[in-house]
Amino acid sequence: MITETVLPSERGIRRAAEIIKRGDVVAFPTETVYGLGANALDEAAVKKIFVAKGRPADNPLIVHISSLDMMETVAADIPAEAYKLAERFWAGPLTVVLKKSSSVPSVTSGGLDTVGIRFPSHPAAKRLIELSGVPIAAPSANLSGSPSPTTFKRVYEDMNGRVPMIINGGSCEFGVESTVVSLNNGCARILRPGAVTKEMLEQVIKNVTVDPGVLSELPEGAKVRSPGMKYKHYAPKAKVIIVAGSLEAYREYVRRHAKERDFCLLFDKSERIPGIHYLTYGSTAKEQAHRLFEALRNLDAKGAETVYARCPDASGMGLAVYNRILRSAGFNIVEAENGE
Ligand code: AMP
Ligand code: MG
């Protein structure tokens, strides 16, 4: 398949919308990461997304909308809290899981009777949905299992030859996928943390909990509320080990274990260890979120074998960073102690 690239101009987006309308797939930028979109209501079109990504069929897609009217066509029995969240956080990086309407085919929802809905704020994403005239189902535009693409270059690497069109929108603002919440009896549960934090949600909904699957590996057979959490995710080819503890303890641990092709993944270059390769991904949670996936892909490009990552602070937006790095490390976290 030939993959065309267009810029997010009105003309470019019009051409992309034609592709969506004819039942095909377009990779497009959003404020979180790049998405791989098709008409959410067209079963055959949605199946093409799963093929392009190599995604397991039971991993649901998020349905992207550009108006509340659209939400009402894809969801049923919408609770008042959904409207409150919509008013406060849409357009933006929040996905709300609601009961699905019969218009949404089961392939879109991964066989569930619920559907994750998001109203993106990125102008190109919004315009693409408007011009297509249909809700767009879109997972992240990476090959299944790889870190999500946050730049055009990475989408192109993964999707060239697999989809008819990519919209080149440069780099994505947030860099981690949307916050996913489910609603139950007036309470919200965070299934996946993102740029809309627990503290922000609490300004609108009194009782907000974090699903146990966000912070730890679920025991075998446990009920998975967010199907994506059971899959290996965001994983580079390199083996990632998170080394928690003070900077001094981190350095000591790495000095003792690092081999020639190993790398440190640091917040800042002041933490580097002479003689050991390193990459940085930022000192604030916002910067870390923006740069983490690109750093993981760069580590692969540099041929890193084992990566010793500093452990990010998991408060506020840091929870999203911690959740992603924990998964990219396959939950491999060691506690380094001074003089160990
Ligand atoms: P991605 O499209 O790669 O950002 O992944 C979307 C993730 O959102 C899925 O892997 C699920 O974990 C979550 N999700 C989407 N729809 C639902 C749903 N109906 N119920 C629970 N989680 C969902
Ligand atoms: Mg994804």
- The predicted-structure confidence for 126-145, as pLDDT tens digits, reads as follows 999 999 999 999 999 999 98
Amino acid of residue 37: G
Within 10 A of 77 (CB to CB), how many other CB atoms are there? 8
Q: Is the pLDDT of residue 318 over 90?
A: yes
What's residue 232's pLDDT? 66
Q: How do residues 3-55 score in pLDDT, each as one tens digit?
A: 999 999 999 999 999 999 999 999 999 999 999 999 999 999 999 999 999 98
- For residue 236, give the 3-state DSSP assignment: coil
* 231 CA closest ligand 1 atom index: 10
Could you please state the CATH topology (level 3) that the domain comprising 239-335 is classified under. Answer: Rossmann fold (3.40.50)
Å from CA of 267 to ligand 1 middle: 29
Top CATH class, 4-175: alpha beta
Q: How do residues 77-124 score in pLDDT, each as one tens digit?
A: 999 999 999 999 999 999 999 999 999 999 999 999 999 999 999 999
Alpha-carbon gap, residue 60 to 139, rounded angstroms? 8
In the structure, how many helices (H) and strands (E) does the chain have?
Answer: 10, 17
| Average confidence (pLDDT) over 238-266 | 97
pTM recorded for the entire structure: 0.95
Q: How confident is the model at residue 233 (pLDDT cuts 50, 70, 90)?
A: confident
Where are the domain boundaries for CATH 3.40.50.11030 in the chain?
239-335
- 77 torsion bin: left (phi>0), alpha (psi -120 to 50), beta (else): left
Q: How confident is the model at residue 339 (pLDDT cuts 50, 70, 90)?
A: low
Place of tokens 């899959």: 231
Residue nearest atom 23 of ligand 1, based on CA coordinates: 226
What's residue 209's pLDDT? 97
CA atoms within 13 A on the CB side of 118: 29
What's residue 61's pLDDT? 97
Alpha-carbon gap, residue 152 to 65, rounded angstroms? 22
| Average confidence (pLDDT) over 136-158 | 95
Amino acid of residue 16: A
Ligand 1 neighbour 120 (Cβ under 6 A)? no
| Average confidence (pLDDT) over 194-206 | 97
What's residue 150's pLDDT? 97
Å from CA of 251 to ligand 2 middle: 32
What's residue 302's pLDDT? 97
Token representation of residue 322: 């911690």
Ligand 1 neighbour 226 (Cβ under 6 A)? yes
Residue in 340, 328, 149 with CA at minimum distance from that of residue 242: 328
| Average confidence (pLDDT) over 292-302 | 96
CB 244 within 8 A of CB 331: no
For the chain, give the percent of residues with pLDDT over 70.
Answer: 98
Q: How do residues 63-79 score in pLDDT, each as one tens digit?
A: 999 999 999 999 999 99
Alpha-carbon gap, residue 145 to 76, rounded angstroms? 31
Where are the domain boundaries for CATH 3.90.870.10 in the chain?
4-175
What's residue 228's pLDDT? 73
Residue in 171, 163, 117, 134 with CA at minimum distance from that of residue 17: 134
